[in-house]
Amino acid sequence: MANTTVRPKTSLTSSRGKRGELRREIWRYRKLYPLLIFGVAFFAVFAYAPMYGIQLAFKTYNIGKGITGSDWVGFANFTKLFARTEFWRAFSNTIIISLLKTVFSFPVPILLAILVNEISSRSLRRGLQIVFTLPHFLSWVTISGIMLNLLTGDGAINGIIRAAGGHGVEFLTNGYIFRGLLVFSDIWKESGWNSIIYMAAIAGIDQAQYESATIDGVNRWQKAWYITWPSIKGVAAVLLLLSLGNSMNGNFDQVFNMYNPTVSRQSEIIDTYIYNISFLQAADYGLSTAVGLFKGIINAFLLLTANIAVGKLNPESQIL
C-alpha cells in the first residue's frame, strides 16, 4: 500500500488564499468604491498635500527662496521652542482643558441619549432632539457674544446676583472660572449633536431584550444599565479614542473667540499660541511649523496609547 502524506498548508498557499479572498471582496463591493472618491480627495487635498510644508520645521523660512530653497537648520527651531516658558504654559493649558472636557463633557451625550430614549412619547422625544441639537449649528462667534452679554460685570447674570443681595462674579477675568465656562459652553453646544450617534446605536438594540426584561420585572434604570449601556459601550469606546486622539487641538474656535488677555495664562492653548507667533508677533514660520509638528506627534502618541488601553479592556473597540 502506497504511503500517502498530507502536506500542511504552507504560508505561501495561505497568503495566496488571503489575496484571492481580498480580491473577491473588492469585486463584490466594487459599486461602493466610487462613493469614497470625494472623501479621499478631501483628505488628499486638505490633510496630506499640506504635509509638504512640514519641512519648514527644520528650516529658516525665506520668502524669496521658498519652502524648498530655504536653509536647513536641523532641530534649531525645536530647541528654541522648548526653551520658551510660554510654550510650555500653552501646552499644559491644552492638556488641562482637554482633560476637563473629556471628564465632564464626554459622558453627557451618553446620558442624554439614554434619558431621551426612555421617553415614551415619540413627538416629545423628537422635539427634545431638535432643541438639544440646535446649539451645534450656532458658530462660536455667536455663542461667545451671548456669553459676553450674560457674564460681563454688568451682564444679566451679575445683575441677578446683585439683585439677590450678592456680589458680582468676575466670570470672564478669573482664569479658573473661565476654564469652567469653556467646559460648560462645550457641553451646551455639542452634547445634543454628539448624542445622535448614541441614539442611533440604541435604536439598533433588539427590542426583545427590553420586552423580556419587562416580563421579569426589571425597572427602567436596570434596563439602561444592563441592556442599553452594554450595547453602546463599544461605540462610546471608539468615540473616546477619537476624542483623545484630537485632544491636543483644544478647539481653537471656542478659545479664540472667548478668551481675553486677563485669562491668557490659564486659557491660551497650543493653537492660539501658533496663531500669536505667526500673525501677531514677528512671523517665524519655521517655529510655528515646529509647534504644529510637535502637536501632531503628541496627538498620534495619545491615540495609540488610548487604543492599546481600550483594546485590553474591549478588543472589539480597537480602531488600529
List pLDDT tens digits, range 51-83.
888 898 998 888 888 888 888 998 999 999 999
- How do the domains of the chain map onto residue ranges? 11-43, 57-317
Q: C-alpha cell of 119?
A: 421617553
Residues 44 and 296: their CA atoms lie apart, in Å, by 17
Give the CB-side neighbour count of residue 30, counting CA atoms within 13 A.
4
Q: Write the single-letter amino acid at 77.
A: N
Q: Write the single-letter amino acid at 250.
A: G
Question: Residue 85: which pLDDT band, with cuts at 50, 70 and 90?
Answer: very high
pLDDT of res. 112:
92
pLDDT of res. 1:
46
Q: Which residue has the higher pLDDT, 97 or 312?
A: 97
Predicted confidence (pLDDT) at residue 108 exceeds the cutoff of 90: yes
Question: Residue 318: which pLDDT band, with cuts at 50, 70 and 90?
Answer: low
Range with lowest mean pLDDT among 9-18, 21-30, 166-175, 213-222: 9-18
Q: Is the distance from CB of 251 to CB of 259 less than 8 angstroms?
A: no
Three-state SS string over the chain comes to CCCCCCCCCCHHHHHHHHHHHHHHHHHHCHHHHHHHHHHHHHHHHHHHHHHHHHHHHHEECCCCCHHHHCEECCCHHHHHHHCCHHHHHHHHHHHHHHHHHHHHHCHHHHHHHHHHHCCCCHHHHHHHHHHHHHHHHCCHHHHHHHHHHHHCCCCHHHHHHHHCCCCCCCCCCCHHHHHHHHHHHHHHHHHHHHHHHHHHHHHCCCHHHHHHHHHCCCCHHHHHHHHHHHHHHHHHHHHHHHHHHCHHHCCHHHHHHHCCHHHHHHHCCHHHHHHHHHHHCCCCHHHHHHHHHHHHHHHHHHHHHHHHHHHHHCHHHCCC
pLDDT of res. 4:
52
Predicted confidence (pLDDT) at residue 3 exceeds the cutoff of 80: no
Per-residue CA distances from 197 to 100, 117, 224, 249 (Å): 22, 13, 17, 22
Q: How crowded is residue 261: how many other Cβ atoms within 10 Å of its Cβ?
A: 8
What mean pLDDT comes out for the span 163-172? 84
Share of the chain above pLDDT 70, in %: 92
What mean pLDDT comes out for the span 197-213? 87
pLDDT 10s digits, 277-303: 888 777 788 888 999 899 888 888 888
pTM of the model: 0.79
- b/e burial code for range 271-284 (CB count within 10 A of at least 16 → b): bbbbeebbeeeeeb
Question: Residue 92: which pLDDT band, with cuts at 50, 70 and 90?
Answer: very high
Q: Is the distance from CB of 163 to CB of 279 less than 8 angstroms?
A: no
Q: Which residue has the higher pLDDT, 313 or 206?
A: 206
pLDDT 10s digits, 185-197: 999 999 999 999 9
pLDDT of res. 13:
60
Q: Is the distance from CB of 103 to CB of 217 less than 8 angstroms?
A: no
Three-point CA angle 296, 301, 306, nearest 5°:
125
Q: Is the distance from CB of 184 to CB of 108 less than 8 angstroms?
A: no
pLDDT of res. 307:
78
Predicted confidence (pLDDT) at residue 173 exceeds the cutoff of 50: yes
Question: Residue 171: which pLDDT band, with cuts at 50, 70 and 90?
Answer: confident
Residues 228 and 247: their CA atoms lie apart, in Å, by 27
Predicted confidence (pLDDT) at residue 11 exceeds the cutoff of 70: no
Residues 231 and 207: their CA atoms lie apart, in Å, by 12
Residues 275 and 73: their CA atoms lie apart, in Å, by 22
Q: Which residue has the higher pLDDT, 72 or 320?
A: 72
Give the chain's mean pLDDT.
Answer: 85
CATH number for domain 57-317, candidates 3.40.630.10, 1.20.1290.10, 1.10.3720.10, 1.10.565.10: 1.10.3720.10
Residues 218 and 114: their CA atoms lie apart, in Å, by 16
